[in-house]
């Protein structure tokens, strides 16, 4: 394996054709490349193994990459695959063509409604990763890209700790420029929470979007550090009072009192408009085609469904390779009529602020509030094995799998336990 000779137009592993250099950082070069199998363009990050080994970061890099493979979100640059030769590590990533978000600010500050859409997308990405234990720790203008449709894409998520460690080690020269986006506790190097540090950086980013300049500026680096430590900044007069309040809470120099992501999402400025792309697509999806559900009686089940039933809930681990935490469906049996199942689901929906669409054989719930990947939606299909024995299949229809699993274990299962069928003990089995 490995790279082929330069004569064969820089083919990598026989799979990627390397093109022009797009940029380079402290420890990697990024090239435009083409996947010859799919014809798809990618960004190919090339990291020197020797540098990684020299700073004892090989294990961490492997760990970060394995985490990144799990992280798929519309506002995060996707990681496709990782390859290696004797001397290099190659990371194939989504190619984002719209340039950096901050090129827009070079032409002047953004209106609040425009800045809000970018900030909502940024917070959505950050929240999604934090829920999976992944922290960026190095949010700055170069890591915020735009795609052709103008959507924000955060890059270097989960790989940034690696870059940061190299810089702090002093083994590679620093090209990261100003520490203007870095939280005070990170500058102090006393150990810090990745989530709190990310929230501070989001505050600096929001300030720059709205102001067109940095909150902490000084030609003297030490003087700038002092301003960051004290949280010493002023909001320009054109900031709305809601924006001013939110930024003050984001740029709190004390990490333990700094605003949390759930409070950010609940703030008046953040909630003023819901991202349009999320609403329209999902509201259309929520009006599911009732024609599919017009049967008057529950549909019958095939033999496989019946065989795979066990007592109560069945997570059918057989025949499925998905990890348990990624599970997106569950199944249960009941001897109650379909109307009882539907009214139970309606009760859960009401208590948990879900909207409901229903037919005789299908119920679809959609959360009113936006989650990490849009609004969580759940579909329950009701099948009749016999007229008095039903099987209900519950599936995630939209939204984040983690949120779906939490909802199932904390809300749905407890609410349904009294209608579950469990097979009677052997002694009382009817003849």
| Residues acting as catalytic residues | 138
Q: Is 353 annotated as a binding residue?
A: no
Residue 170 backbone dihedrals phi, psi, to 5 degrees: 75, 10
The CA–CA distances, whole Å, from 381 to 341, 345, 409 equal 10, 11, 19
H-state helical runs in 251-383: 261-265, 268-271, 276-286, 303-307, 338-351
CA atoms within 13 A on the CB side of 119: 32
How far apart (Å, rounded) are the C-alpha atoms in residues 131 and 373? Answer: 12
Residues 6+ apart with CB under 8 A from 163: 25, 26, 27, 28, 138, 156
Among positive and negative, which fits the CA dihedral 357, 363, 368, 369? negative
Give me the phi and psi of 77, to 5 degrees please. Answer: -60, 130
Answer whether 389's CB lies under 8 Å from 333's CB: yes
How many CA atoms within 13 Å lie on the side-chain side of 305?
Answer: 19
Q: What are the residues facing 46 on neighbouring strands?
A: 29, 90
Distances (CA, A) of 129 to 94, 140, 235, 430: 17, 17, 29, 52
Cβ 350 vs Cβ 340: under 8 Å = no
Residue 37, CB-side half-sphere exposure with 13 Å CA sphere? 5
Which residues are part of a known binding site?
49
Annotated binding-site residue numbers for ATP:
49
């Amino acid at each position: 394996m490995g790279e082929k000779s330069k004569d064969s137009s820089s083919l990598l592993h026989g799979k990627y054709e390397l093109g022009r250099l797009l940029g380079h950082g402290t420890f990697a070069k990024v090239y435009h490349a083409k996947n010859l199998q799919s014809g798809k363009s990618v960004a190919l990050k090339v990291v020197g193994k020797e540098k990684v080994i020299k700073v004892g970061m090989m294990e961490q890099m492997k760990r970060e990459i394995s985490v990144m493979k799990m992280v798929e979100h519309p506002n995060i640059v996707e990681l496709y695959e990782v390859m290696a030769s004797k001397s290099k590590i190659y990371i194939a990533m989504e190619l984002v063509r719209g340039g950096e978000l901050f090129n827009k600010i070079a032409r002047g500050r953004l209106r609040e409604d425009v800045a809000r859409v970018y900030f909502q997308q940024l917070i959505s990405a950050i929240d999604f990763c934090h829920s999976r234990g992944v922290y960026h720790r190095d949010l700055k203008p170069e890591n915020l890209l735009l795609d052709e449709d103008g959507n924000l894409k955060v890059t270097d998520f989960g790989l940034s700790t690696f870059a940061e460690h190299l810089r702090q080690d002093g083994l590679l020269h620093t090209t990261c420029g100003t520490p203007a986006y870095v939280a005070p506790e990170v500058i102090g190097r006393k150990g810090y929470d990745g989530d709190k540090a990310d929230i501070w950086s989001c505050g600096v980013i929001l300030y720059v979007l709205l102001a067109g300049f940095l909150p902490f500026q000084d030609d003297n680096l030490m003087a700038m550090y002092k301003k960051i430590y004290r949280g010493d900044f002023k909001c320009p007069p054109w900031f709305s009072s809601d924006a001013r309040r939110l930024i003050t809470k984001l740029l709190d120099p004390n990490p333990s009192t700094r605003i949390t992501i759930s409070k950010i999402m609940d703030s008046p400025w953040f909630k003023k408009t819901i991202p349009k792309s999320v609403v329209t697509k999902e509201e259309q999806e929520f009006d599911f085609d009732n024609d599919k559900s017009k049967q008057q009686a529950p549909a019958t089940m095939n033999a496989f469904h019946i065989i795979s039933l066990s007592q109560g809930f069945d997570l059918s681990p057989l025949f499925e390779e998905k990890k348990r935490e990624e599970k997106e469906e569950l199944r249960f049996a009941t001897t109650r009529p379909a109307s009882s199942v539907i009214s139970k689901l309606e009760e859960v929906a009401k208590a948990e602020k879900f909207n409901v669409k229903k037919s005789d054989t299908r119920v679809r719930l959609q959360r009113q509030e936006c989650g990490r990947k849009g609004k969580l939606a759940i579909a329950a299909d009701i099948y009749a094995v016999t007229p008095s024995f039903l099987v209900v299949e519950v599936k995630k229809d939209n939204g984040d799998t983690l949120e779906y699993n939490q909802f199932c274990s904390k809300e749905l299962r407890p609410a349904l336990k009294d209608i579950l069928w469990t097979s009677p003990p052997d002694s009382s089995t009817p003849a």
